[in-house]
Amino acid sequence: MTDETAATLSSRADYADAVDRAVRAAAAYYGDGATPLGDDEYDALLRAVTAYEDAHPDQVLPDSPTGKVAGGAVVGDIPHSVPMLSLDNVFSAEELTEWAAGLERRLGRPVTAWCVEPKLDGMAVAARYRAGRLHQVLTRGDGLAGEDISHAADAILGLPAALTAPLDVELRGEVLLTHAQFEHANRLRSEHGATPFAHPRSGAAGTLRAKDRPYRVELTFFAYGAIGLDDDLGHSALLERLAALGANTAATTPAHPQRCATQEDAQRRIEEIAALRTALPFGIDGVVVKADSAADQREAGSGSRAPRWAVARKLAAEHKVTRLLDVEWNVGRTGIIAPRAVLDPVDIDGVIVTYATLHNPADITRRDLRIGDQVFVYRAGDVIPRVEAPLADQRTGDETPIAFPEACPRCGDAIDTTEQRWRCTRGRNCQAVASVIYAAGRDQLDIEGLGRTRAVQLVEAGLVGDIADLFTLTREQLLALERMGGTSTDNLLAAIETARSRPLNRVFCALGVRGTGRTMSRRIAAHFGSMAAVRAADAETLAGVDGIGAEKARVIVAELAELAPLLDKLAAQDVGTAVTEPRTPPAAADTAAGDDADGDAGGDAGGDVGGNAGRRPGAPLAGEAVVVTGGMSGRLAALSRNEMNELVERAGGKASSSVSARTTLLVAGEKAGSKRTKAETLGITILTPDEFAERVAEYLP
């Protein structure tokens, strides 16, 4: 039976098959998380089972997962002091409104207030304290009894070994792997020869149950309830009390719980948390809405599986299961050979995904991926989809190993396999056309008239082998090419001559150094002031640039050494040799805090490169981390986004492409969209284009 037919169970046999699939999926989901179904598919299957049972109550099977905590899939041997229930789900704003109306009918009056908080995608636990000291940690199990996982307690961040008060109390909450913890856990597992976790939820489940591992995986606890505290505490007040006791709560995150007076306010907060989803450091699969008042909760009561005063508004799944059909190998402009997964098309959050990144050959080997595997695919917002892990227990034996290339897929030359990311030994020369096109782009040298067709023509004619050769082209050489008349030739030569005087940050960006982009190029230029100083810097010195750590610094130094012949040729043509203003004093640079939006910013404004002058104390944007979004108007209408970012840095700020807790200022133009919503949620200052233009008027071109 397919997922599509599961939505309308037409016979008793279909129903029995659906129950069996749901039970098996629940066992995997609540066990090690390695379910063969994505979240959306499981939810749809369970709803189909429920609908059939509602229509045929005399045919309900005893092992049906409906009405049971965790679908009845797991059991424990240690009884809970009070049952740990699940939550009922709704899947739209309309269903939420209907649920809230039903709760108010039950109460016979309006709900006093609502509390809205993120639904964390982890594993529910109960932590028992005696006289304020952690005594025992249990899984939820079947809601009546759970497993003892106290052995894992010391690896759970946010779960205090001792409370701030000597209480006998039981904290309840979610244990999960943050995105960073998940990646670290899989690196550790790979180093120890273990299979990587499929996704953070399975990683949390597996880690909590594991014993005697030769390595330590840290997790994070978020408290959302308690047994044994003041029964008259409303939910918002309870969360504050939990934080005061020393437990971690979601109040420390941008998706913090919020008390809402009306259903309309609650719905707005749901939308705000959903908009924050891609920026959170951990996974959420929904938003929880609760009656905030303790009196409302007591009066509403609970069923056998879920409280009647709380519900989960589920969000579209970011994880889906599909089949890996093939792997393609593409060569980038720097010679990097990157694998790309070809997938059986799958809908993830409204986007049909056919391709996904596989990072590098080492990643394929670490995950033990094979052609034909059922695989988890993850997509968060606009992030490129990636394959996370295969469902090894779903293999049929027909899967085949992924064939790694033995020679460069583009030019047939040898491959350098000494690093995780394989590279053609010809490096940029393997993709000379791509390198030239990139360098000539508007955000780099901005050579108008040098598009793909012309770049191919120049490379194939042997006139250009790298970007330095552009500056040696003559009128006679260009006129000899097909479809190059006098006017187009003169225009191209004029554009190339203009490019010769581009500021250092744009020349550096045109090099396409791995580990850098437009923003990082501006920071490097601002830090060193000249190409000679950049070339002379060692890894330790480069690591002093904001956003460059030790590992990236080593990559940049190696790249610059490889580019030495090209840099010498550019210097001979007086390209990138101009010395900018003196580097920013450290004290001034330290005032500019914000995100490293490497690759998302650039500019063409000339003058002080990277905003050295603007970083001086007293500059209008000193210390500001600025994001620009939407269409600009007024005095800013003529500026490209990259020119806007350079304006930000000239005026003393730090430009970023994404809104986060470190953002201090958003310039919101027409159709600002989700970035404005997120900034409003985080309480970030928002300026119109006209207001921003007035603030930085002295720095406008």
**DSSP string for residues in 91-142:** -SHHHHHHHHHHHHHHHTS--S-EEEEEEESSEEEEEEEETTEEEEEEE-TT
According to the model, what pLDDT value does residue 227 have? 95
Over residues 490-521, the pLDDT tens digits come to 999 999 999 998 889 889 999 988 878 888 88
For CATH 1.10.150.20, the residue range(s) in the chain are 427-499
According to the model, what pLDDT value does residue 192 have? 83
At the topology level, CATH places domain 427-499 in DNA polymerase; domain 1 (1.10.150)
**Region 559-588: what's the mean pLDDT?**
73
According to the model, what pLDDT value does residue 609 have? 30
Q: May I ask the CATH architecture of the domain 3-72?
A: Orthogonal Bundle (1.10)
Contact 500/471 with Cβ under 8 angstroms? yes
Name which residue leads in pLDDT, 589 or 538.
538
For CATH 3.40.50.10190, the residue range(s) in the chain are 504-699
Task: Flag the least confident range among 293-307, 342-356, 361-375.
Answer: 342-356
According to the model, what pLDDT value does residue 202 have? 79
Give 699's contacts (C-beta < 8 A, 6+ positions apart): 614, 620, 647, 650, 651
Q: How confident is the model at residue 601 (pLDDT cuts 50, 70, 90)?
A: very low
Name which residue leads in pLDDT, 579 or 432.
432
Task: Flag the least confident range among 256-260, 313-317, 557-561.
Answer: 313-317
Task: Flag the least confident range among 344-348, 530-534, 605-609.
Answer: 605-609
| Tokens coding 230 | 């003041």
According to the model, what pLDDT value does residue 482 have? 87
For CATH 1.10.287, the residue range(s) in the chain are 3-72
Q: How confident is the model at residue 270 (pLDDT cuts 50, 70, 90)?
A: very high
C-alpha span between 69 and 636 (Å, rounded): 56
| Tokens coding 582 | 């003196």
According to the model, what pLDDT value does residue 410 have? 86
C-alpha span between 417 and 596 (Å, rounded): 29
According to the model, what pLDDT value does residue 591 have? 31
Checking if the pLDDT of 7 tops 60, the result is: no
How high is the mean pLDDT of the chain?
Answer: 84
**Region 456-479: what's the mean pLDDT?**
92
Checking if the pLDDT of 68 tops 60, the result is: no
Residue range 504-699 in CATH 3.20.20.140: no
For CATH 2.40.50.140, the residue range(s) in the chain are 319-419
Over residues 83-96, the pLDDT tens digits come to 999 899 998 999 99
According to the model, what pLDDT value does residue 290 have? 97
CA angle 60, 393, 201 (to 5 degrees): 75
Q: Find tokens 């009128």 and name the residue.
A: 475
C-alpha span between 690 and 701 (Å, rounded): 15
pTM, entire model: 0.57
Name which residue leads in pLDDT, 260 or 647.
260
**Region 302-313: what's the mean pLDDT?**
91
Task: Flag the least confident range among 131-140, 536-545, 669-678.
Answer: 669-678
| Tokens coding 421 | 């990311």
- Please choose, from the candidates 315, 239, 234, the residue with its C-alpha nearest in 3D space to the C-alpha of residue 270: 315
Checking if the pLDDT of 589 tops 80, the result is: no
Please list the residues that pair with 336 across neighbouring strands. 423
According to the model, what pLDDT value does residue 38 have? 58
Q: How confident is the model at residue 292 (pLDDT cuts 50, 70, 90)?
A: very high
User: In sequence order, what E strands does 508-651 have?
Assistant: 625-629
Name which residue leads in pLDDT, 583 or 405.
405
**Active-site position among 119, 320, 675, 678:** 119
- Please choose, from the candidates 282, 228, 272, the residue with its C-alpha nearest in 3D space to the C-alpha of residue 250: 282
Angle between helices 641-650 and 518-528 (to 10 degrees): 30
According to the model, what pLDDT value does residue 14 have? 82
Over residues 147-196, the pLDDT tens digits come to 899 999 999 999 999 999 999 999 999 999 998 999 899 888 888 888 77
Query: Is the backbone of residue 87 left (phi > 0), alpha (psi -120 to 50) or beta?
Result: beta
Checking if the pLDDT of 598 tops 70, the result is: no
Checking if the pLDDT of 382 tops 60, the result is: no
Q: From residue 120, give the alpha-carbon distance in Å to each of 124, 288, 349.
A: 9, 9, 18
Q: How confident is the model at residue 264 (pLDDT cuts 50, 70, 90)?
A: very high
For CATH 3.30.470.30, the residue range(s) in the chain are 78-314
Known catalytic membership, residue 678: no
According to the model, what pLDDT value does residue 582 have? 41
At the topology level, CATH places domain 319-419 in OB fold (Dihydrolipoamide Acetyltransferase, E2P) (2.40.50)
Q: May I ask the CATH architecture of the domain 78-314?
A: 2-Layer Sandwich (3.30)
